[in-house]
Structure 1
């Protein structure tokens, strides 16, 4: 059976604008309005899911996916003691630790998940969608950008370092489709409202 997994990155919020690690805060008015405007462009799927963060759940709701089930495997990257802090602050205070984190996929100087752990967790979820216990052939999930990037790295069997080279813009759709663990990827289609006629 071919499985189709459509991942939507959440819309902007204040924490994302401030480049905060895992800044799980509610959507701001602008982000909510952008998501509502894109609601009519969301593709249909057999099962709608959402990462458990406030930002993912509120984006799903604004997109018209209020019934999306929270999926723990789609949780954002666990950055432990860096969570909520700005990247520039952490880099100034812990330059060697940030360099290790960026250069070694197994490093977790923050005390949370390493990049390899994130990719492994996301890949295990993705691969679980195949098989006799699969509940659907198509999935739509609002997932944190780090999870979307990790899914692409896993799906295409890229080296972990490729994660840092993938940009995922807010409110874009990344699609993985395949069977038996072999994935094809469609990257970053914007979810935007059609132009006014």
Structure 2
């Protein structure tokens, strides 16, 4: 048995940093997605309320894993991007362009990448099939690691809600699979597809 880790992205509604909850549509889609997911030997979730909501909607008993937490947004937590851009555009620009910058007093992109990389490397080799319900930022950080991309690539990865990204070890590297989750449309228009993350150019 080896590690086969699937990251499932939960994205809250609203544009505030580190705030919000899943929309009604997001909850309905999570319920539908639960029927499409295969069984897992281990299910984990980030500490946020949206990730707890998603685990409940999927009908899964998920163990809280602090290492999967979202960015520490520092003094920006609860504020919208628009609010920060209007009052402090230069510090926001620095955070979005310099992976070592943390102008909000919280966490830099590089720190997040290191934190999540340390967590991934700590998984026991006999973990088996594991599911981790987590934040878009965590998915981006682990993709940066698996793709051996520079930390500056972080903001060029788009991670939609219900993206499913699978990681399996190959020697001292990780293989990545971008999965699709087919959702049953309860309005009667047929199946919907959620595709995994894509590079934004």
With normalisation by structure 1, the TM-score equals 0.88
Where do 1:127-146 residues align within 5 Å? 127-131=121-125, 136-146=127-137
Give the corresponding residue for 1:34: 29
Tell me: CA distance 1:155–1:130, structure 2 relative to 1, closer, same or farther (3 Å).
Answer: farther
Pick closer, same or farther for the CA change 1:167–1:128 going to 2, 3 Å. Answer: same
CA contact (8 A) 1:123 1:155 kept: no
Q: Which runs of 4+ in 1 moved over 6 A?
A: none
Q: Is the 8 A contact 1:21 1:86 kept in 2?
A: yes
Does 2:53 correspond to 1:58?
Answer: yes
Among 75, 100, 119, the residue aligned to 1:81: 75
What's the offset of the Cα at 1:52? 0.6
Report deviation, 1:180.
Answer: 4.5
Flag structure 1 segments of 5+ consecutive residues without an equivalent.
none
- 1:172/1:28 CA distance change after superposition, 3 Å: same
- Name the count of aligned residue pairs: 187
Deviations 1:8-48 (A, max 9, x none): 0015x432xxx22111x333322211211211012222100
Distance in 2 (CA, whole Å) between partners of 1:53 and 1:99 is 26
Output one character per residue of 1:74-114: Cα deviation in whole Å (capped at 9) or x when no partner.
00111111111110110111111011111111100000010
The CA RMSD measured in Å over matched residues stands at: 1.8
Higher strand share: 2
Unaligned segments of structure 2, at least 5 residues: 192-201
Question: Given the alignment, which residue of 181, 189, 193 partners 1:190?
Answer: 181
Task: Look up the match of 2:141.
Answer: 150
Q: Counterpart of 1:126 in 2: which secondary structure?
A: helix
Cα distance in 1 for residues equivalent to 2:119 and 2:182: 24
What is the TM-score of this pair, normalised by structure 2? Answer: 0.86
State how far apart, in whole Å, the 2-side matches of 1:57 and 1:114 are: 25
